């Protein structure tokens, strides 16, 4: 029986990942702090269906203060999804949460991982935010990272720590740089969830800047598939991969697509561009395709329809 750990298990991506691992018959230890960066009600909903599975064990706590030595006994893979997310909230007073949850927590985990005899892989959830305003689009992994938000800085620091522990202690890490993940269970502070909720409430959607910014949107099941490949493919150890949706889309066009899906026009309110938001993101996923066999399966329209159904059931 394979035993794995998923940190941030009550989150958007962590809960989907744990669900898939349980379906594959793995024993899953899920770790989450249930902090209040967004309403913990969502997080409890996310783990509710996991808890009915006999192969699932939930540990509630802060990564920095857990007994990792005993937790990592017999564990093959750690999927480290836990992080303090959110680009715009990372300025000012809130920054300490980012250093604690993104850098310090990862360091504690890595320290334990270097002595974990059974660990074959530590998959680290990184982010396209490490690139900032990349000069080359689509962006490949060899481009020097230049984060434009404090959030991006902390995730890059954590990713670099993983590489150091790999080089010096042989910790078998793989880093996945996610590009704007969406789908059912998406966090309430993320664009599509917010947009669909505002449509239900018949309110205007706030657009930062001119609406011409582009994003590479990645459906959550594609991200899960990338994690599973990163945990098993031998050549992946020590590597960094972009995980994107395979198509770069202008925000204004996404809103038109959403209007078609919900069957009514969407009200827009244009506001000033937010600090720390990258203007364009686009993933060159050829490395992930080549080594991980990564192939995004879900089109934006298909994925948006799934998320809309989910948001409707919530509100």
Tokens of 174: 């793989």
Token output for 114: 């270097």
Rg, Å, the chain Cα set: 19
Q: Do 6 and 53 meet the contact criterion of CB atoms below 8 Å apart?
A: no
93: Cβ–Cβ under 8 A, 6 or more apart, which residues? none
For strand 77-80 and strand 3-7, is the pairing parallel, antiparallel, or unpaired? parallel
User: Catalytic pick from 79, 131, 151, 294?
Assistant: 151
Alpha carbon 137 to its chain's center: 21
User: CB within 8 A of 91, min separation 6: which ones?
Assistant: 149, 150, 275, 276
- Cβ pair 42, 193 in contact under 8 A: no
Among this protein's residues, is 151 annotated catalytic? Answer: yes
Q: Catalytic site residues?
A: 151
């Amino acid at each position: 029986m394979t035993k794995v750990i998923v940190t941030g298990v009550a989150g958007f991506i962590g809960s989907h990942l744990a669900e898939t691992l349980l379906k594959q018959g793995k024993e899953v230890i899920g770790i989450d702090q249930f902090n209040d960066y967004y309403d913990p009600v969502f997080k409890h909903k996310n783990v509710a269906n996991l808890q009915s599975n006999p192969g699932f064990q939930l540990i509630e706590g802060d990564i920095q203060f857990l007994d990792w030595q005993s937790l990592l006994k017999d564990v093959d893979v750690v999927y480290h999804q836990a992080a303090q997310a959110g680009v715009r909230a990372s300025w000012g007073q809130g920054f300490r949460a980012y250093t604690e949850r993104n850098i310090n927590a990862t360091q504690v985990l890595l320290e334990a991982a270097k002595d974990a005899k059974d660990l074959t892989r530590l998959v680290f959830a990184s982010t396209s935010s490490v690139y900032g305003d990349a000069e080359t689009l689509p962006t490949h992994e060899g481009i020097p990272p230049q984060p434009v938000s404090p959030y991006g800085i902390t995730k890059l620091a954590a990713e670099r720590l993983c590489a150091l522990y790999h080089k010096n202690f042989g910790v078998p890490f793989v880093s996945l740089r996610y590009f704007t993940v969406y789908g059912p269970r998406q966090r309430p502070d993320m664009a599509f969830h917010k947009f669909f909720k505002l449509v239900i409430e018949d309110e205007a959607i706030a657009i930062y800047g001119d609406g011409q910014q582009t994003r590479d949107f990645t459906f959550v099941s594609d991200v899960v598939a990338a994690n599973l490949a990163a945990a098993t493919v031998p050549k992946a150890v020590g590597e960094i991969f972009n995980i994107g949706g395979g198509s770069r889309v202008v925000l204004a066009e996404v809103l038109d697509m959403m209007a078609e899906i919900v069957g009514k026009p969407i009200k827009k309110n244009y506001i000033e561009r937010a600090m720390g938001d990258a203007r364009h993101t686009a993933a060159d996923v050829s490395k992930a395709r080549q080594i991980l066999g990564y192939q995004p399966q879900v089109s934006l329209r298909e994925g948006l329809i799934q998320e809309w159904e989910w948001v409707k059931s919530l509100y």
